[in-house]
Structure 1
Amino acid sequence: MRIEYIPILKDNYVWIIINDDNLCIIIDPGDYDSIINSIKKLNIYPVAILITHYHQDHIGGVKKLLEIYPNLFIYGPKKNKNFKINKICTNNDYINILNYKFKILSTPGHTSEHISYYTKPHLFCGDVLFSSGCGKIEQGLALKMYRSLNTIMNLPEDTLIYCAHEYTLNNLKFSLSIFLKNKEIFRIYEKVKKKLSENKCSLPSILKIEKKINPFLNLGKSEVKIFTKIHKDLAFKLNILLKLREMKEKYK
């Protein structure tokens, strides 16, 4: 298995899984031109599309890709009005593509239908989890987001996290404003800053590291409680998640 990334739009990544025969799987194709150019450059042929959720920046290229590759098999979390989903995926389903076995994880919160694709040790998690951050929470879905983050937390620590946006540096700045004495966050911040200055991708991250640097995976830590001004030991972590995400939204 070889995994490539395609930068699209403002800060999205499309992930491409390529086998030894140069057949590939496209994850969350939010654009068309950039993907087609990369397909030609890499000399690969797409056979399937995996969709984590139906925001336009994750599906914007699907229709045109289907015009060029009409036999593309599309996997997604539920029926979609704009194009046919060949396989609707639900929690704990298993799918096999190009001899790669993926487990479907239900990870709502960013949207109600959001799913992630896990093929050990790789997790393609769309917009539910970012390096040192998490996605925006759709109104009324905070509890589901909390459970989704816990679902990911329970995966093996060597899990590689492939999220769909390059938010890492800004997220790390936010984390540093919470964990003022965390040398690991500062070390990774400098590493990511260097990568981005060289026009490289900061991802994937590793779950073991995320557990150390991601405030959304450390809702019970005293630093997070102090930062959100929710100090009580019995404070429900859901309240902290909501407050923390609200503060991240305002952070510049």
Structure 2
Amino acid sequence: MLIYDNRHIRRTHGVSMFSIRAIPAFSDNYIWCLSHDDSGQALIVDPGQAEPVEAYLAEQGLTADTILVTHHHPDHTGGIKQLQSAFPEVRVTGPADSPFKGTTNVVHPGDEVVWHGLTFDVIAVPGHTLDHIAYFTSSLISGRPLLFCGDTLFACGCGRLFEGSAEQMYHSLKNLRELPDETAVYCAHEYTLANLRFARHWLPDDEALEQFERRCQNLRDQDLPTIPTTIADEKALNPFLRWDDPAVVAAAESYCAKHGLPASSERDIFAAVRHGKDHF
């Protein structure tokens, strides 16, 4: 089983060590495992499959004590029941008012989730689904604040609007865009190269996107993940976050003129980019 190791931890006297790794699942999912190395306990994010998680935990001698759920889709929740059987004491934290009913610790936007001294803020990010939430901690993991954002924000992309509206997703992404620039963005899918194909189509003269695409292709050629990305990189590169960038606005206005769509607000610009990706 291939496990992507993103470990880069400073250890100081009296400070616990945390490690974070991606456990690949399905064809392009990442299940995130955050381990508290002093206790051997692990926090698992969006386990759509149980088997790769169980195999990794057994290999590392870890015990799952917490599962974080960002939204109800089966590729994020399908492994939870089996993991509950394997780890009867595991706490399953997830959004209230969700179609997924397997949570044991329901949270609402504005709540906090505390795990081994780390405090995660629960952020509402509807759009992809109506129940979608994200988890942010300002504590430094691998030297940076950390965001688990499920299918809301991807490297150079964002989630499809299966349940929510473009306006909801725009506001969700706007809230994430305001997080510290150095925040590491741990999304749930390896969609980067596909997202970049669209971004380069939308902005063919963007040299930074071209350079980033080469870097990501090199990583994938080595079977390495392209994530985490950072909020700073997404603000600079991701067309779904650049609704106030003149180049993105110009491309959106041209697209809207061709398709009879409005282009009078930042929300309209975001909606045009999303529409363009949906029909790319």
Please tell me the TM-score bracket, short chain as reference. Answer: over 0.9
The 5 Å alignment of 1:59-208 reads 59-78=77-96, 83-120=101-138, 121-208=145-232
What SS does the corresponding residue of 1:104 show, helix, strand or coil? strand
1:215 & 1:208 partners in 2: Cα distance?
13
Gaps of 5+ in 1: none
Amino acid at match of 2:266: K
Equivalences, count:
251
What value does the CA root-mean-square deviation take over the aligned residues?
1.9
What SS does the corresponding residue of 1:25 show, helix, strand or coil? strand
Q: Which segment is superposed worse, 192-201 or 137-146?
A: 137-146
| Alignment partner of 2:265 out of 236, 239, 252 | 236
The alpha carbon displacement at 1:88 in A equals 1.3
1:79 & 1:214 partners in 2: Cα distance?
30
String of CA shifts for 1:142-176, please: whole Å, max 9, x gaps: 21111100100111100100000000111112112
Does the CA contact (< 8 Å) of 1:6 and 1:15 recur in 2?
Answer: yes
Runs of 4 or more, structure 1, over 6 Å off, are 231-234
2:97 & 2:262 partners in 1: Cα distance?
43
Q: Which segment is superposed worse, 203-212 or 168-177?
A: 168-177
Q: 1:234 to 1:63 in 2, by over 3 A?
A: closer
**Percent sequence identity over aligned pairs:** 31
The alpha carbon displacement at 1:141 in A equals 2.1
1:10 & 1:171 partners in 2: Cα distance?
16
What SS does the corresponding residue of 2:256 show, helix, strand or coil? coil
The alpha carbon displacement at 1:70 in A equals 1.2
What SS does the corresponding residue of 1:230 show, helix, strand or coil? helix
TM-score (structure 1 length as normaliser): 0.93
The alpha carbon displacement at 1:191 in A equals 1.0
2:276 & 2:168 partners in 1: Cα distance?
19
Q: 1:37 to 1:91 in 2, by over 3 A?
A: same
Q: 1:198 to 1:191 in 2, by over 3 A?
A: same
1:37 & 1:140 partners in 2: Cα distance?
35
2:271 & 2:155 partners in 1: Cα distance?
18
1:84 & 1:110 partners in 2: Cα distance?
20
Does the CA contact (< 8 Å) of 1:178 and 1:223 recur in 2?
Answer: no
Gaps of 5+ in 2: 1-17, 139-144
Q: Partner residue of 2:45?
A: 27
Does the CA contact (< 8 Å) of 1:79 and 1:85 recur in 2?
Answer: no
Amino acid at match of 2:78: G
The alpha carbon displacement at 1:83 in A equals 4.5
| Alignment partner of 1:219 out of 243, 257, 272 | 243
Q: 1:233 to 1:73 in 2, by over 3 A?
A: closer
Q: Which segment is superposed worse, 160-169 or 233-242?
A: 233-242
String of CA shifts for 1:22-55, please: whole Å, max 9, x gaps: 2100000001111111111222110000000000
String of CA shifts for 1:56-93, please: whole Å, max 9, x gaps: 00000001111111111011012556644222111121
Q: Which segment is superposed worse, 159-168 or 72-81?
A: 72-81
- 2:20 counterpart of 1:15: no
Q: 1:76 to 1:140 in 2, by over 3 A?
A: closer
Q: Partner residue of 2:54?
A: 36
Does the CA contact (< 8 Å) of 1:195 and 1:202 recur in 2?
Answer: yes
